[in-house]
A and B are shown apart, each in its own frame.
Chain A
Amino acid sequence: MSDVVEKTLTALPSLLSLDSQPGSAKLSSNSKLGNLIRGITELTSKHEEEKLIQRELLLIKEQVSSPNTTMRQMKELMVRAIYCEMLGYGVSFSYIHAIKLAQQGNVLEKRVGYLAVSLFLNESHELLLLLVNTVLKDLQSTNLIEVCMALTVVSQMFPKDMIPAILPLVEEKLNHPKEIIRRKAVLALYKFYLIAPNQVQHIHNKFRKALCDKDPGVMSASLHIYLQLIQENPEGYKDLAPSFVTILKQVVGGKLPMDFNYHSVPAPWLQIHLLRILSFLGKNDQSTSEIMYEILDESLRRAEMNHNITYAILYECVKCIYTIHPKSDLLEKAAKCIGNFVLSPKINLKYLGLKALTYVVQQDPKLALQHQMTIIECLDHPDLIIKRETLELLFRITNDQNVTVIVEKMLDFLRISEDDHTTIDLVGKCFHSVETCYNRISQTVFLNFSLRVRFDSVEEDKKLRLFAVNSYISLLQGDASKLPQRFLQVICWVLGEYSHLRDDLEPDVIVRLLAKLLDMKTSSSETKCWVLMAMTKLCPGGAALALVHNVSETYSSSLDTMLRQRAQELEILSQDSELQAKVLPRSASMEPVEVDSSLSFLDGFVSEALAAGAAPYKPPHQRQEELSRSKALNLEPYGLSLPISMSSCSITDRQSPTLLSISSGLSGDSTDFSHKGSSTVLKLDGVKRLWGRDGYLAQKEPTEEAPRIEAASPVRSADQLGNNNSQTPTPTPTPECDQEKQQLASSLFVGLASQSSICLMGKSDQPSQRFRRKTKASGSSEQITNPLVFPSDGSDNLLYKNLLDSPDLDGSPPEQTPGLDAPNGACDAEEESTDADMKEIKTPPIRDEHVTAEASPHHDPDGSKDPSLTSHLPAELSALSHSKTTTLFSKQNLDVSACHVQKEDSVVLVVFISNCSDSFLQQIRLQVDSEELEVSCVSDSPSEELKSHSVAVCQYFLTVKRPSVHFDLSATVSWQPPAGSPLTTQFSYRLPLTAFIRALRLSTEEYGAKWLAFSHDTKQNLTLIQGGRDPLAATLDVLKRKLQLHVVEVIGVEAIVACCLQQDQPCLMHCRMHAGMLSVWLRSPVPDLPDCLLYCCQRALQEL
């Protein structure tokens, strides 16, 4: 067909009389454009095109400057010039002619002239000044089209300085009878506002008039202005909020003429604008927000049709609802709406859904939890844009628990991304994530991160490394003592690896710099290890050898094993440069380390050792049990040095072949992931059959809907909703894949469900956090593959246990040996109470007694030793079960005793201070503190003075800050005897974890829903209570009685049990009878809680 067009075009001039006729010029010229276009498209190379266009331009140039060219011809020439300009060829010679055309031509020619001007020139072009007069003239023209053209060109570009000249004329146009003129005038004024805001300040009330214009088109044009104004200064326009709401109400209500409908949606773009404005107005302003609730609700309701544009409105609605002062039912609807977006099969909507999630997730992290499976899917989406948006979303929910996984994902993305902007953006985010969780993150991530970013390109790499080396050296030359330890470690690594890139620098210099670090008081031994490593890598031959020798000598007698090891390495390698080159080849630093996580290379060694009579390896839980059974050995204090060495080992894995492989296997390489995945697949096998995501699978069909209906508590229902929803997008994926995704989900969304508990946890639990991750990553999988050859697992676990139990270590490590109670003698109260003569011998730290007392409060409510004291219990507490009253100390006629009362939702500590003397005691003050508990005073010692033989009662509410096996309260009491100086005594009181444990009553379905949402878990085998016909039932009974656990359901050899720590911190337990043992698996959103509870279970079962 195209040639027909061409032929027609060329034939037409001859058909329609030729030359001198006024119309023919355009015709022939039109065909000239046609010729040009055809000419261009026939060409094959860019070069030819260039030549042709240059020729064409010469022709045009000649013609435009010829005085004989008519305006009509000029118009055609201009179109050709525009075409050439669009292709990227400079046509500056024609600029002036374009202006001339706009000045002198008739309407049509003027139009081309204006178009050419607006395409060719920019606001600051000097030629534009020549146009001002033309514009002035046209604005005053009676021809509407000329006025329109003038306004259009003004809004496209106008010299800033000349605005005052035409401003009155444009303002005048706001009153023009034609709405199109008014509308264009409004936009022109908006443009003026954008380029010179102070010049249009005086006409703000005219904007208001435009807003109230009878024509909706003018009104909607004025919204552009208000959107901008309100964005800049929402406070100044609060009075307009009701007007905007009214307008939106009318629009949504279909009050506009049908013309404004688009796909039967009334004026959608107008609605979008209004919603944006409302969100700016309602932000952080409750009263303004309240005006909007109704209309937002209406908008949400009305926009139900399934057209693209209704989604545009919905999206704005949702954003608005989440921006303004929150209203719960609207939020609920908006959340549902976001769900529709996210689950939509349309990719555009999915994208916007992710964007909306990203926007709201900071306010409502649960929402991300709801859609976790979709998010996981989007993470693997082929569209990079979707992927990026997902990462953006994950970035927003980064916390110290999932940062590793998320940064890992970001790095994955970085490797496939080619876009510079994205890379820069993401690297920034990675750094931000790492920084915010700085103290909490394992250095592995940090290191992997710095490594991988450097992967990008070889050349860039080298530059970057050199830059890093240079900047780090200059840092070290300054005052390094203020730098964070971790940063110093990175510096050491980088210098060790890359300082050779600087040819002009002798290694000696760097060694000296590093040695400076060693001498710094602030350097931790971990950092020192790094320094030694770096030195080993640098290994100078020259002058610094003596220094190195010195250093290695100093540290080879260090108390720290790791440091000693490094020093030895340094000593040996610095003397044998050949060996050094072999062990630490320079070029290999970027090669991935292959890790034999099963430690198969040790097989020979192990079998030899076994043959030589060594004891076979026992998995840690077995060891633990034996340990607890024997009760005699206390290994714990030895564990203390391990954490340090282990952590440093994980960093320096590449260099020490003896210790390394385990830790590098754990250190968050990508292999780590598959490990995790496969391990769960294995582990879940036994469980999954009966206990699905929705609980007990056999009953799934009839009861599936049940949990949705009975939303017991808001938290619970949200969780359920999450799990139910997350199922919908993936109806039946292959089980492994599904599980892998779930695993990923639980690692990504960890910590979202229990936001509050995380805040409470603070930083203190970090070390255990870190190690736990590793235990999970490797221990569980490798235990199965090769239980024999795995010494590391044990140490790992042990060490973790140590860290976890560390609060006990200083208090009373030998719990199993009551005779050695309170060896540290922290307080005189305890020392005194060991005195067997006194009647109050029962020292609180004797756990065994305590536990029994606590565990069965219902059975032994009046087991208190001192009934008289109990009678002092406040009325509201006396009905509740309380622990034995234990005397904390007795001195100078003052007795202090305490007990704790278990209320439904809390624990109250009651302290009795009794005055046994015959005289007054004055200024009694009691202060109670605890590291793991939050102590809030209910009623402080009421009387400043205590009469003789009377008792003062103080109550304290206790809430758990951080789970622990038992909680130590330290208290200080001070008083003043009638004669003499004030006295102060300290004492301590210990509560078991069981005091805080309450039964959690839930259904099997709820249990199933929660199970997967919890991220912290522990598994172990417990001894079954033998003898009865049903060991499982008997064991459960004991647990139920002693720990108040709630047995949700028992099915065959399995049972599920639930409890909670103070109502909102649930812990779920899955028990299974297996080979004469009870293997339990505990899960909770609260770190440490499973471990502590497990310990309690162990104790409870052993004490029978």
Chain B
Amino acid sequence: MIKAILIFNNHGKPRLIRFYQYFSEDMQQQIIRETFHLVSKRDDNVCNFLEGSDYKLIYRHYATLYFVFCVDSSESELGILDLIQVFVETLDKCFENVCELDLIFHMDKVHYILQEVVMGGMVLETNMNEIVAQVEVQNRMEKSEGGLSAAPARAVSAVKNMNLPEIPRNINIGDINIKVPSLSPF
């Protein structure tokens, strides 16, 4: 079973936190900190697994983000590793060139996508098309109901896809880094 899914950036700022087992608020934060501490000091050329007493950490590092799955012994390491890949590819499909900003501004959406992949700690669906289809159904409903409400999302993606000659740097938004994650490490 999957115990927790943590996404944080290179500076340890959480971007999505989902626990499938209860931990108190403080404990959750401590887990995030410790996980970041463990994962961030590892090179890119070492293995993607970390092992604790009962749990395994399986993580992938995409550009600015770490995707960490905390699982128990019943999960297959390589299986989860590819599940992360499926998840990220799905995000990419849903957000059209996903970047860290998408995860920040559409945290709720990311959660909904994740719900279609992992449900209550169990892997529900691993087929990307199926996941996207489920998310689309919900999106359609959103559009039909929200009307204009969907506009900002579209606007954002429109802006993102514009070919900007240069990335303006006058606004300091700290650790937010816009980079398209490399999606095919293989």
User: What is A's interface to B at a CB cutoff of 8 Å?
Assistant: 1-6, 8-9, 12, 16, 21-24, 26-27, 30, 33-34, 37-38, 41-43, 79, 82-83, 85-88, 90, 106-108, 111-112, 115, 119, 122-124, 145, 151-152, 155-157, 180, 183-184, 187-188, 190-191, 217, 221, 224, 227, 231, 259-260, 262, 268-269, 272, 276, 307-309, 311-312, 315-316, 347-348, 350-352, 382-383, 385-386, 388-389, 421, 425
Among B32, B47, B125, B129, the residue within 8 A (CB) of A383 is B47
Among A23, A315, A350, the residue within 8 A (CB) of B146 is A23
- Asked if B81 and A386 sit within 8 Å, CB to CB, the answer is no
Among B76, B148, B168, the residue within 8 A (CB) of A1 is B168
- Asked if A145 and B52 sit within 8 Å, CB to CB, the answer is no
- Asked if A108 and B45 sit within 8 Å, CB to CB, the answer is no
B160 adjacent to chain A (CB < 8 Å): yes
- Asked if B145 and A107 sit within 8 Å, CB to CB, the answer is yes
B residues 53-94 touching A (CB-CB < 8 Å): 53, 74, 76-79, 81-83, 86
Which 3 residue pairs of A and B lie closest in terms of their CB atoms, listed nearest first?
A: A155-B120, A312-B78, A23-B148
- Asked if A425 and B53 sit within 8 Å, CB to CB, the answer is yes
User: In the complex, what's the smallest C-beta–C-beta distance from A253 to chain B, in angstroms?
Assistant: 19
Among B49, B74, B173, the residue within 8 A (CB) of A348 is B49
- Asked if A217 and B79 sit within 8 Å, CB to CB, the answer is no
User: In the complex, what's the smallest C-beta–C-beta distance from A506 to chain B, in angstroms?
Assistant: 43
With A4-B159, A108-B142, A145-B138: A309-B74 Cβ-Cβ less than 8 Å: no
For A221, the closest partner residue in chain B by CB is: B124
- Asked if A308 and B81 sit within 8 Å, CB to CB, the answer is yes
User: In the complex, what's the smallest C-beta–C-beta distance from B118 to chain A, in angstroms?
Assistant: 10
Instruction: Chain B residues near A382: list those with CB within 8 A.
Output: 43, 46
A108 to B145, CA, bound (A): 8
Among A30, A112, A269, A312, the residue within 8 A (CB) of B152 is A30
A276 to B137, CA, bound (A): 34
Q: Which of B108, B111, B123 has the most CB of A within 10 A?
A: B108
Instruction: Chain A residues near B42: list those with CB within 8 A.
Output: 383
B residues 9-31 touching A (CB-CB < 8 Å): 14, 16-18, 20, 22, 25-26, 28-29
A217 to B167, CA, bound (A): 44
Instruction: Chain A residues near B183: list those with CB within 8 A.
Output: none
User: In the complex, what's the smallest C-beta–C-beta distance from A46 to chain B, in angstroms?
Assistant: 11
Instruction: Chain A residues near B50: list those with CB within 8 A.
Output: 385
User: In the complex, what's the smallest C-beta–C-beta distance from A1067 to chain B, in angstroms?
Assistant: 42
For A259, the closest partner residue in chain B by CB is: B127
With A23-B147, A259-B127: A316-B120 Cβ-Cβ less than 8 Å: no
A1045 to B32, CA, bound (A): 68
Among A85, A124, A309, A385, the residue within 8 A (CB) of B78 is A309
For B20, the closest partner residue in chain A by CB is: A156
A90 to B79, CA, bound (A): 35
Instruction: Chain A residues near B78: list those with CB within 8 A.
Output: 308-309, 311-312, 315, 348, 352
B 140-160 to A, binary, CB cutoff 8 A, 1 in contact else 0: 011001111101100110011
User: What is B's interface to A at a CB cutoff of 8 Å?
Assistant: 14, 16-18, 20, 22, 25-26, 28-29, 32, 42-43, 45-53, 74, 76-79, 81-83, 86, 101, 104-105, 107-108, 111-112, 115, 119-120, 122-127, 129-130, 134, 137-138, 141-142, 145-149, 151-152, 155-156, 159-160, 164, 167-168, 170-176, 178, 186
Q: Which of A5, A312, A389 has the most CB of B within 10 A?
A: A5
- Asked if B108 and A115 sit within 8 Å, CB to CB, the answer is yes
With A106-B145, A115-B112: A1-B160 Cβ-Cβ less than 8 Å: yes
User: In the complex, what's the smallest C-beta–C-beta distance from B143 to chain A, in angstroms?
Assistant: 10
* Inter-chain pairs besides A191-B120, A309-B78, A383-B43, 6 sampled, C-beta below 8 Å: A3-B170, A21-B148, A86-B16, A152-B119, A188-B120, A268-B126
- Asked if B107 and A108 sit within 8 Å, CB to CB, the answer is no
Instruction: Chain B residues near A88: list those with CB within 8 A.
Output: 25-26, 28-29, 32
For A392, the closest partner residue in chain B by CB is: B51
User: In the complex, what's the smallest C-beta–C-beta distance from A338 to chain B, in angstroms?
Assistant: 15
For A270, the closest partner residue in chain B by CB is: B126
Residue pairs across A and B with Cβ atoms less than 8 A apart, 30 shown, are A1-B159, A2-B101, A2-B171, A2-B176, A3-B168, A4-B164, A5-B101, A6-B173, A8-B155, A8-B159, A26-B152, A38-B173, A82-B107, A82-B108, A88-B29, A88-B32, A107-B145, A156-B119, A157-B22, A183-B125, A187-B119, A188-B120, A231-B74, A262-B126, A269-B79, A308-B186, A312-B76, A348-B81, A350-B47, A382-B46
Chief secondary structure at chain A's binding surface:
helix
Among A26, A188, A276, A309, the residue within 8 A (CB) of B82 is A309
- Asked if B149 and A348 sit within 8 Å, CB to CB, the answer is no
With A23-B149, A145-B141, A268-B82: A79-B108 Cβ-Cβ less than 8 Å: yes
A386 to B48, CA, bound (A): 11
A2 to B99, CA, bound (A): 11
For A156, the closest partner residue in chain B by CB is: B120
A184 to B145, CA, bound (A): 25
- Asked if B160 and A119 sit within 8 Å, CB to CB, the answer is no
Among A4, A191, A316, A351, the residue within 8 A (CB) of B49 is A351
Instruction: Chain A residues near B175: list those with CB within 8 A.
Output: 41
Among B22, B53, B111, B137, the residue within 8 A (CB) of A421 is B53
A259 to B129, CA, bound (A): 8
For B168, the closest partner residue in chain A by CB is: A3
A562 to B65, CA, bound (A): 66
- Asked if B178 and A2 sit within 8 Å, CB to CB, the answer is yes
A23 to B142, CA, bound (A): 12
Instruction: Chain B residues near A350: list those with CB within 8 A.
Output: 47
Instruction: Chain B residues near A347: list those with CB within 8 A.
Output: 45-47
With A37-B104, A82-B107: A123-B22 Cβ-Cβ less than 8 Å: yes
A634 to B176, CA, bound (A): 86
User: In the complex, what's the smallest C-beta–C-beta distance from B132 to chain A, in angstroms?
Assistant: 12
Q: Which of B29, B148, B164, B178 has the most CB of A within 10 A?
A: B148
- Asked if B107 and A79 sit within 8 Å, CB to CB, the answer is yes
- Asked if A12 and B164 sit within 8 Å, CB to CB, the answer is no
A42 to B171, CA, bound (A): 9
User: In the complex, what's the smallest C-beta–C-beta distance from B134 to chain A, in angstroms?
Assistant: 7
- Asked if A107 and B141 sit within 8 Å, CB to CB, the answer is yes
Instruction: Chain B residues near A352: list those with CB within 8 A.
Output: 77-78
For B17, the closest partner residue in chain A by CB is: A86
User: In the complex, what's the smallest C-beta–C-beta distance from A313 to chain B, in angstroms?
Assistant: 9
User: In the complex, what's the smallest C-beta–C-beta distance from A289 to chain B, in angstroms?
Assistant: 21
User: In the complex, what's the smallest C-beta–C-beta distance from B128 to chain A, in angstroms?
Assistant: 8
Instruction: Chain A residues near B25: list those with CB within 8 A.
Output: 85, 88, 90
Instruction: Chain A residues near B147: list those with CB within 8 A.
Output: 22-23
User: In the complex, what's the smallest C-beta–C-beta distance from A745 to chain B, in angstroms?
Assistant: 23
User: In the complex, what's the smallest C-beta–C-beta distance from A25 to chain B, in angstroms?
Assistant: 9
User: In the complex, what's the smallest C-beta–C-beta distance from A182 to chain B, in angstroms?
Assistant: 12
- Asked if A115 and B111 sit within 8 Å, CB to CB, the answer is yes
Instruction: Chain A residues near B119: list those with CB within 8 A.
Output: 151-152, 155-156, 184, 187
Instruction: Chain A residues near B112: list those with CB within 8 A.
Output: 111, 115
A879 to B94, CA, bound (A): 87
With A30-B152, A155-B122: A86-B107 Cβ-Cβ less than 8 Å: yes
A120 to B53, CA, bound (A): 27
Instruction: Chain B residues near A316: list those with CB within 8 A.
Output: 76
Among A30, A260, A272, A312, the residue within 8 A (CB) of B127 is A260
For A350, the closest partner residue in chain B by CB is: B47
- Asked if B124 and A183 sit within 8 Å, CB to CB, the answer is yes
- Asked if B76 and A108 sit within 8 Å, CB to CB, the answer is no
Instruction: Chain B residues near A312: list those with CB within 8 A.
Output: 76-79, 81-82
A38 to B171, CA, bound (A): 10
For A78, the closest partner residue in chain B by CB is: B108
A1071 to B175, CA, bound (A): 71
With A269-B83, A315-B78: A42-B105 Cβ-Cβ less than 8 Å: no
- Asked if A1 and B49 sit within 8 Å, CB to CB, the answer is no
Instruction: Chain A residues near B74: list those with CB within 8 A.
Output: 227, 231, 276
- Asked if A315 and B76 sit within 8 Å, CB to CB, the answer is yes
Instruction: Chain A residues near B20: list those with CB within 8 A.
Output: 156
- Asked if A27 and B120 sit within 8 Å, CB to CB, the answer is no
- Asked if B171 and A3 sit within 8 Å, CB to CB, the answer is yes
